[in-house]
Chains A and B, each alone.
Chain A
């Protein structure tokens, strides 16, 4: 479980308009497999922008993001979604589940999109690990916030990605549910060897992180 999984090199993002706003300034970082890294900082410091660029959701103005040695922003735009699907799992503050699908279907969906065989069995195993077996057939909209985040983590792990990117994963949760979500993310790093990157300004998360990076005004400290 060693070796650099994801690395950012001098990553910058500027929004050019009437006045140019620079959200991230030459951020560089390396994250190992099995490591949990917390990027903390105040609102507007550029954490989420950095995370979006690490996940290939936002094109950087300059710099590179390499995942398992591949520069993800150099991939052809048509192949980037498939790359994300297989190599990156996302966890969002607002969960971003498909509310009309059951918990099981939410996990199966990403497995099916990746053409995974045996999606039903794999989804059941992931839900069991997340402690969601009894809620598997409930519609996502009928789950509690804590259950929704557990389900989102199970979904993030579905295609066995190398990296999990979590944006304020405890932001919508009470402390008990937040603790549970963090334990699941920590377990993903420890037992599955995932590189977990969390951006948050929640100080409760620090104890779960192996490394904490501060971000202020778009710069990593």
Chain B
């Protein structure tokens, strides 16, 4: 097979290099955004997914941990504990606040205050230290701790109260804020209003009927609503998707358009420059299909080179980016990589449309031009 497409592509190496670098940078941006999105998705739902909680009881119309306000009487936990099929119930308080470190305000923390007695709501993703907190101890998200140079034993102040870092958790970074965990009594102290919780967390006995327990909770107080863990995870995901996904999606779409335009521009100028060669091929008898394939192969080859360049750029730049932005958690996943790969192929085929239009306007009789 005569490697005509490859030779045409490599004829102007400078242009190819600029094109591949441009595509690579855009692919890298898209991969990075998808990784950030996956990181946010995981960071937002990891606690709900991994903490040993079967049911989330919220104020009616509240349905997620991130962006809905829920206030329930903490005393309901005791009443719910008495429902047949319930192994235990405990209040969880959510406080959105900032901490102070050496007279400097930190970024926002989502503080979840759980009951240390029942340990319901205790985070399952503590990578360092302990989840068993004493008074005025706190578990911080790893990226938050890294961002502010905190480690086990460090002290930070929340509303003038000193908290000692007792644990570091992972998968608790929701990008705009990071989760932290304290005891419920410390939470009450911070909130300053006793007897109030954000949620009641329920653990069920083995074999318990979820529907019956949920109905019993609602009968107890019709201002309450109950979600299973899977439902609550889905609610949180939906919240992220409606909040973050459109922004990321728009950037990714623009990135894809840029990729398509870069490919189209490269091939358009290539066809324009090689107009006589294409006219010659037409004169000699190349079919339209052969010429289309010639363009599309160049387009796909350019795009795949850009994809590979993007992988290299991503591998090289991610550690640097994370060094300067430690609060960002990235999860590179194979499905995301495959989506970008497939997108690259699709974009390259679409990008070939413009030079193909130019190709149609090249007449074989142009070979006679001196």
Q: Does A pair with B?
A: yes
- The chain A residues found within 8 Å of chain B, CB to CB, are 48, 51-52, 55, 57-58, 78, 81-86, 88, 90, 92-94, 96, 98, 100-101, 105, 108-110, 112-114, 155, 167
Q: Which of A78, A82, A100, A167 contacts B368 (CB 8 A)?
A: A167
The residue in A57, A84, A112 that gathers the most chain B C-beta atoms within 10 A of its C-beta is: A57
Check if A109 sits within 8 Å of B4, measured CB to CB: yes
Tell whether A100 pairs with B7 under 8 Å between CB atoms, given A108-B2, A109-B2, A112-B2. Answer: yes
The residue in B1, B10, B277, B284 that gathers the most chain A C-beta atoms within 10 A of its C-beta is: B284
The main secondary structure of chain B at its interface with chain A is: helix
> CA of A36 to CA of B222 in the docked complex: distance in angstroms?
103
Find chain A residues with CB under 8 A from B290 CB: 113
User: Across the two chains, which residue of chain B brings its CB closest to A123?
Assistant: B2
CB distance from B273 to the nearest CB of A (A): 12
Check if A110 sits within 8 Å of B368, measured CB to CB: no
Check if A90 sits within 8 Å of B283, measured CB to CB: yes
Q: Which of B276, B285, B367, B370 contacts A82 (CB 8 A)?
A: B285
> CA of A48 to CA of B11 in the docked complex: distance in angstroms?
31
Find chain B residues with CB under 8 A from A85 CB: 284-286
> CA of A98 to CA of B159 in the docked complex: distance in angstroms?
76
Q: Which of A57, A86, A108 contacts B367 (CB 8 A)?
A: A57
Check if B2 sits within 8 Å of A105, measured CB to CB: yes
Find chain A residues with CB under 8 A from B363 CB: 57
> Shortest 8 CB-CB distances between A and B: which pairs?
A85-B285, A100-B7, A84-B285, A96-B280, A57-B365, A81-B285, A105-B2, A57-B364
Check if B287 sits within 8 Å of A113, measured CB to CB: yes
23 chain-A/chain-B pairs, Cβ below 8 angstroms: A57-B363, A57-B365, A57-B367, A78-B288, A81-B288, A82-B285, A83-B285, A84-B283, A84-B284, A85-B284, A85-B285, A90-B367, A92-B368, A93-B370, A94-B370, A98-B7, A98-B277, A100-B7, A101-B2, A109-B4, A112-B1, A113-B284, A113-B286
Find chain A residues with CB under 8 A from B3 CB: 105
User: Across the two chains, which residue of chain A brings its CB closest to B290?
Assistant: A113
Interface size on B, residues (CB 8 A): 26
> CA of A51 to CA of B284 in the docked complex: distance in angstroms?
14
CB distance from A81 to the nearest CB of B (A): 5
Check if A110 sits within 8 Å of B284, measured CB to CB: yes
Find chain A residues with CB under 8 A from B10 CB: 100
Check if B276 sits within 8 Å of A96, measured CB to CB: yes
> CA of A101 to CA of B284 in the docked complex: distance in angstroms?
16
Check if A86 sits within 8 Å of B285, measured CB to CB: yes
The residue in B2, B7, B280, B370 that gathers the most chain A C-beta atoms within 10 A of its C-beta is: B2
> CA of A105 to CA of B3 in the docked complex: distance in angstroms?
8
CB distance from B282 to the nearest CB of A (A): 7
Check if B285 sits within 8 Å of A113, measured CB to CB: yes
CB distance from A200 to the nearest CB of B (A): 13
Find chain A residues with CB under 8 A from B2 CB: 101, 105, 108-109, 112
Say whether B191 faces chain A, with CB atoms less than 8 Å apart. no
Check if A48 sits within 8 Å of B368, measured CB to CB: yes
CB distance from A206 to the nearest CB of B (A): 22
Find chain B residues with CB under 8 A from A155 CB: 284
Check if A101 sits within 8 Å of B288, measured CB to CB: no
User: Across the two chains, which residue of chain B brings its CB closest to A110?
Assistant: B284
Say whether B237 faces chain A, with CB atoms less than 8 Å apart. no
> CA of A110 to CA of B288 in the docked complex: distance in angstroms?
14
Find chain B residues with CB under 8 A from A55 CB: 283
User: Across the two chains, which residue of chain B brings its CB closest to A171?
Assistant: B370
CB distance from B267 to the nearest CB of A (A): 16
Say whether B8 faces chain A, with CB atoms less than 8 Å apart. yes
Find chain B residues with CB under 8 A from A86 CB: 285
Find chain B residues with CB under 8 A from A82 CB: 285, 287
Check if B365 sits within 8 Å of A98, measured CB to CB: no
Tell whether A98 pairs with B285 under 8 Å between CB atoms, given A58-B365, A113-B290. Answer: no
Check if A81 sits within 8 Å of B282, measured CB to CB: yes
Check if B287 sits within 8 Å of A57, measured CB to CB: no
- Other than the known A96-B280, A105-B2, A105-B3, what 19 A-B pairs have Cβ atoms closer than 8 Å? A52-B365, A57-B363, A57-B367, A58-B365, A81-B282, A81-B364, A82-B287, A84-B283, A84-B285, A85-B284, A92-B367, A96-B276, A98-B277, A101-B2, A101-B7, A108-B2, A110-B284, A113-B287, A155-B284
> CA of A78 to CA of B290 in the docked complex: distance in angstroms?
12
Find chain B residues with CB under 8 A from A88 CB: 285
> CA of A100 to CA of B8 in the docked complex: distance in angstroms?
7
> CA of A167 to CA of B370 in the docked complex: distance in angstroms?
11
Tell whether A98 pairs with B4 under 8 Å between CB atoms, given A81-B287, A82-B287, A84-B283. Answer: yes
Residues B223-264 near A (CB distance < 8 A): none
Find chain B residues with CB under 8 A from A57 CB: 283, 363-365, 367-368
